[in-house]
Chains A and B, each alone.
Chain A
């Protein structure tokens, strides 16, 4: 359910009030950029696609009917732009062409370095090792915190398909950390940090 303050801003923005538009979008741009980054795993691509999403949202704002939350509506626009972008690219975009730089034996990097590598590793796995449908559902649920119902609406899936794909996506993501070279990071991470990341 949309908050009253947001509804007022949306109504004003729909009537062409630029200040209302700016307020509305200011709240969402960080979230939208991060969604694009989580989906693409690439800062430059996320930057381009975020701008494209905002331009599209600006143009389509008059058709927004408050049936979903503003964020969910924006997310749906973002997902469609992301899918169109993938269609434009060749299939090789799903291939992993990068080597994960695992620290050498005996090397004990500083905790901050490990954390940075873990961030990279998560994005790398999302980008290269999860099929699009699993990446989308995993990002929307576990990073964007959308409900099952909201995800169903955004992805155009039934509720049961959403649950099934989320379940498979989570298992696949875990499999990458167990079987992939990323485990070297998580092992180190366990040693150095909170002790919660052992698989």
Chain B
């Protein structure tokens, strides 16, 4: 596996969705290539940043609004 092939698999590698063969191949490549290793690690860290986005509470209850509109339609 060369660098270009490895980069195409980074996303799936981080999701843990690669099959056994591809997973082993990318691990071997990352062990031997410091550039790809750094690239993959920074991708992982940026995903950690994204996942820092917190859920917020709803500003109101939408169920009532939906059922009122539904009734209004009848």
Contacts and interface: CB of A to CB of B under 8 A. Distances in A.
Interface residues of B, number: 33
A196 B46 contact: no
B43 A25 contact: no
Contacts, number: 100
Nearest to B53: A122
B42 to A, nearest CB: 5
Interface of B is mostly: helix
A59 interface: yes
Contacts of B45: 196-199
B11 A119 contact: no
Candidate in A50, A59, A174 with the most chain B CB atoms within 10 angstroms: A174
A118 interface: yes
Interface of A: 18, 21-22, 25-26, 29-34, 37-38, 43, 47, 50-51, 54-55, 57-59, 115, 118-119, 122-123, 138, 141-143, 148, 163, 166-167, 170-171, 173-174, 177-178, 186, 196-199
26 contacts: A33-B62, A47-B59, A47-B60, A51-B62, A51-B65, A51-B66, A54-B62, A54-B63, A55-B69, A57-B66, A58-B67, A59-B70, A118-B49, A119-B54, A122-B49, A142-B50, A143-B51, A167-B8, A167-B11, A167-B12, A170-B46, A174-B46, A178-B42, A186-B49, A196-B48, A199-B45
